[in-house]
């Protein structure tokens, strides 16, 4: 178990990283904090939002601040699984050549993989990424390649539906958090984004983010130490188990939503993997708040991003997923007795 001094030093580094990202991204402090939690909980992040709200800028800023080797892939309709593994070309002598692709070229040094507009890629490509995310390995050229320090960031275009492929439930479940990035509402932030020239040149803006504020190769060990150091009381454990049951049978707890047949709403509640992901995030949130014990507000802070995409609705309600996931989470928090 880590010492209190080590935990405090790591907490300072984590806060410095959020400050570094804030040099390039304004008005998104809540989203930045949740991404920071995901990094130390060793989970991947799917970011959604409207066009032009700064999703790519935010993820690029975190990739720069976390250091390590970085790769970026643009999701397109013609992208094939092999494009992530190898790159073929004809060299200057006219001979065909094969070189490692974006997943392989850095070996075990790959720490940040950014998949831009992941829903534009075919299901076969998403399946390959699914293994890389779940096992941090892929098979190629007769051997397994490992990425022990890998964190996958992806953003998803929710506006354009042509030539897009919705992520399967199994793929979405591999993301620790699914975050919705809003358009900033603060007048000062909106004015800065529109009128300050520094926000108009993203490449130059990235130079304002210090590189490698944290050592990405240490995140596995630090994350494990946090999980072993932060405790949940028996009452908090009971609270989390009640929340789990509420995602499966909300009517059992007297939870109802307007114009919804609660008996027909849930196709499947959160899985054991989903609940363990929630607890990992809860422990990290408590640690970032300067505590080694979990409070109910730690659970509330990460409940929707950790479980909203892991509760599956029946087809008649699936089209209202975001609305119903938000409403159900709010009702669970409001209804289940807080210890």
Q: Is the pLDDT of residue 161 over 70?
A: no
- 263-276: b or e for each residue (b if 16 or more CB lie within 10 Å)? eebbeebbbeebbe
CB 307 within 8 A of CB 240: no
Report which of 189, 192, 202 is spatially closest to residue 116, judged by C-alpha positions. 202
- DSSP E strands in 7-101: the ranges are 44-49, 69-74, 86-90, 96-100
Q: How many CB atoms lie within 10 A of CB 296?
A: 16
DSSP state of 174: T
pLDDT, one tens digit per residue, over 37-73 is: 999 999 999 998 878 888 888 988 998 999 888 888 9
Query: In whole angstroms, what is the distance from residue 259 CA to residue 98 CA?
Result: 57
At which residue do the structure tokens 């989470």 appear?
A: 329
Q: Can you give the pLDDT at residue 165?
A: 80
191 — pLDDT class (breaks 50, 70, 90): very high
CB 112 within 8 A of CB 216: yes
Tell me whether residue 198 is exposed, middle or buried, using C-beta atoms within 10 angstroms of its C-beta: 0 to 12, 13 to 18, 19 or more: exposed
Q: Could you give the 3-state DSSP secondary structure of residue 212? A: coil
pLDDT, one tens digit per residue, over 262-282 is: 999 999 999 999 999 999 999
What share of the chain has pLDDT > 70, as a percent?
A: 98
Enclosing H/E stretch for 180: strand 175-181
Q: What is the mean pLDDT of residues 156-161?
A: 68
Average pLDDT, the chain: 90
Largest CA distance in the chain: 73
Q: Is the pLDDT of residue 170 over 80?
A: no
Q: What is the mean pLDDT of residues 166-187?
A: 88
Q: Can you give the pLDDT at residue 93?
A: 74
155 beta partners: 47
Q: Can you give the pLDDT at residue 159?
A: 63
Q: Is the pLDDT of residue 160 over 70?
A: no
Asked: is 23-217 a CATH 3.30.750.24 domain? The reply is no
Q: Could you give the 3-state DSSP secondary structure of residue 334? A: helix
Please write down the HEC assignment for all residues of 111-171. EEEEEECHHHCCHHHHHHHHHHHHHCEEEECCEEEECCCCEEEEEEECCCCCCCCCCCHHH
Query: In whole angstroms, what is the distance from residue 315 CA to residue 280 CA?
Result: 30
163 — pLDDT class (breaks 50, 70, 90): low
16 — pLDDT class (breaks 50, 70, 90): very high
299 — pLDDT class (breaks 50, 70, 90): very high
Report which of 256, 322, 17 is spatially closest to residue 151, judged by C-alpha positions. 17
Domains of the chain, residue spans: 23-217, 230-335
Q: Can you give the pLDDT at residue 48?
A: 87
CB 168 within 8 A of CB 123: yes
Q: Is the pLDDT of residue 77 over 70?
A: yes
Cα angle value 240/320/186 (rounded, 5°): 80
Q: Is the pLDDT of residue 88 over 80?
A: no
Q: Is the pLDDT of residue 87 over 80?
A: no
The tally of CA atoms less than 13 A away on the side-chain side of residue 198 is 11
Q: Can you give the pLDDT at residue 339?
A: 83
pTM score over 0.85:
yes
pLDDT, one tens digit per residue, over 95-114 is: 777 788 888 888 888 898 99
230-335 and 23-217 share a CATH fold:
no
Q: Which CATH number fits domain 230-335: 3.30.750.24, 1.10.8.80, 3.40.462.10, 3.40.50.620?
A: 1.10.8.80
Q: Can you give the pLDDT at residue 162?
A: 59
Q: Is the pLDDT of residue 36 over 90?
A: yes
Report which of 122, 119, 91, 116 is spatially closest to residue 102, judged by C-alpha positions. 116
């Amino acid at each position: 178990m880590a010492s209190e001094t080590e935990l405090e030093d790591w907490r300072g580094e984590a806060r410095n990283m959020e400050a570094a990202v804030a040099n390039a991204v304004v008005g998104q402090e809540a989203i930045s904090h949740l991404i920071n939690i995901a990094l130390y909980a060793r989970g991947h992040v799917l970011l959604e939002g409207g066009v032009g709200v700064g999703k790519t800028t935010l993820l690029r800023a975190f990739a720069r601040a976390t250091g390590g080797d970085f790769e970026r892939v643009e999701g397109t309709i013609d992208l094939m699984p092999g494009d992530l593994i190898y790159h073929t070309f004809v060299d200057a002598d006219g001979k065909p050549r094969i070189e490692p692709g974006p997943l392989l070229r850095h070996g075990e040094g790959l720490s940040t993989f950014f998949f831009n507009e992941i829903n534009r890629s075919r299901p076969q490509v998403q399946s390959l990424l699914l293994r890389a995310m779940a096992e941090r390995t892929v098979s190629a050229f007769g051997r397994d390649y490992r990425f022990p320090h890998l964190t996958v960031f992806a953003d998803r275009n929710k506006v354009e539906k042509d030539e897009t492929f919705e992520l399967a439930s199994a793929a979405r479940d591999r993301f620790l958090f699914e975050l919705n990035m809003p358009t900033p509402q603060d007048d000062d932030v909106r004015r800065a984004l529109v009128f300050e020239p520094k926000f108009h040149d993203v490449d130059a803006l990235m130079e304002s983010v210090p590189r490698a504020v944290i050592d990405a190769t240490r995140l596995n060990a630090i994350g494990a130490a946090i999980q072993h150091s932060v405790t949940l009381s028996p009452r908090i454990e009971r609270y989390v188990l009640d929340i789990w049951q509420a995602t499966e049978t909300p009517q059992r707890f007297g939870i109802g939503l307007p114009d919804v047949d609660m008996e027909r709403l849930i196709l499947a509640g959160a899985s054991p993997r989903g609940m363990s992901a929630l607890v990992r995030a809860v422990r990290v949130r408590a640690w970032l708040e300067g505590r080694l014990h979990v409070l109910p507000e730690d659970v509330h802070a990460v409940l929707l991003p950790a479980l909203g995409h892991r509760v599956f609705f029946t087809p008649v309600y699936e089209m209202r997923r975001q609305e119903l996931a938000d409403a159900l989470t709010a009702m669970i928090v409001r209804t289940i007795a807080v210890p």
